[in-house]
Chain A
Amino acid sequence: MAILTLTIDGEQLSANDDETLLEIARQHDIAIPTLCHLEGLSDVGSCRLCLVEIEGSQKLFPACTTRAQEGMVVRTKTERLQRNRRMIIELLASEGNHQCAVCVVNNHCELQNLAYEVGLTHTRYPYLYPKKRLDASHPDFIIDRNRCVLCTRCVRVCHEVEGAHVWDIAQRGIHCEIISDMDQPWGTSPSCTSCGKCVLVCPTGALIAKGENVAEMEKKTDFLKYIVTARVKREWINTDGEE
């Protein structure tokens, strides 16, 4: 592991060469919006909200999956980036059915917060009003695909942390959707352990707890940090008497 220096938004910083631009920025309180990224899960770079500019390239790079290099000059808040981010949120809003006013996570939704953050006031794209499936067959949880933004956090947490791998993505392009096991009702899934992790990491009202009412649910993702730390440091093992 080598130490290198780079510039983000005019600030000279030093970092480890195995760190991503997002990690470095966050260590230095430089805000970059994210959606598919969640600390404790692997990164897939799919939502493109964290795109940044790197001097010397016309391309934009996702901060969550791009590693730092010596001498990099990175910009995170240019006009072009802001425009891009707003457009992404507009597209997400128009391709789902997001009726915030009657949503279980109203006021506690990452998509909503992002919309505020990027200053979204309206969308320039026509709403598609897709017909998406709602599945309430699980005794404790519900998936309402109308509100899914396909961030795949549920897929990753279930596979990487719980080890059950219930969720996957089926179809292609605009028809993509999250499915449980062999595209069967969640309630009939033999692999789901009902741990609830997917519900907690879902940034929107797509995965919710049953019985919750409008605006009633707040998601907490803190648990992930503790599980991951415990795993890496094996903190749950009683080491008394060893050595």
Chain B
Amino acid sequence: MRGREEDNMTDRDGSSDTTPLIEFRGVGKRFMVKGEPLQAVQDIDLKVREGEILTLVGPSGCGKSTLLNMAAGLFEATAGEVIYRGAPVQPYNHAVGYMTQSDHLLPWRDVAGNIAIPLEIKGLPKGEIDARVETLMETVGLSGFGRSYPNQLSGGMRKRCALARLLAYDPETLLMDEPFAALDAMLRMRMQIEIRTLCRQLGKTVMFVTHDLDEAVAIGDRCVVFTGRPGTIDRVVDVPLPPDRDILQLRKDRAYQEITATLWDVLAPAVAMEE
């Protein structure tokens, strides 16, 4: 099952641009926990193409968040290197927007204030910020909660606030760590559609971590499956769905059913092993 590393750069969409946007070259990361080394991920070779949505699935603790952290330049790999647009990632990769697993909202700012932060950093005029924030709150369904503080929100609302903050600053690459985990089914589908359209229209590149295989297929152009810790890439699955797929109708789609079934089969041994 193992070892089918991703080396085929057959451009599905036929574009001639083969240099990947983000590239993990033999990446490994070891944490020191109380003096003991802990290998989170190892031997990661992965190319993220510009304009694609790459979903990452795998057992908890296999290092998915760790990979996103390295792509964002929060820390360095202990082996190999992470390349962004042909150059090694420097601390704080400003080209990416990162929606972390925990929301890290600023507790002293209300919802509107939190969403406004990236706009304030950009130095936009006050009026424009207010207008943008209002639209974004509508997008994520938080209208009317602009004056609420994070401690007054539900878990899903906090996630949506973090999502709006991410969308506010319009980076070319989005790193999203289980962004829709706390949302109800309807809202989650709306957000999936939102993200897909956004990326189609603006050509964003997305690395998207999820524990939901259906979601991984529904939203992804390709799906990376990880093994348990130390995390390695088990396989990279091409999702044979059109880029302008209709997420609402996917459940009836034959190709969608097949690919999710395959993914389930891939991950099933991991489930059996954990028993």
A, B bound:
no
| A residues lining the B interface (CB < 8 Å) | none
| B residues lining the A interface (CB < 8 Å) | none
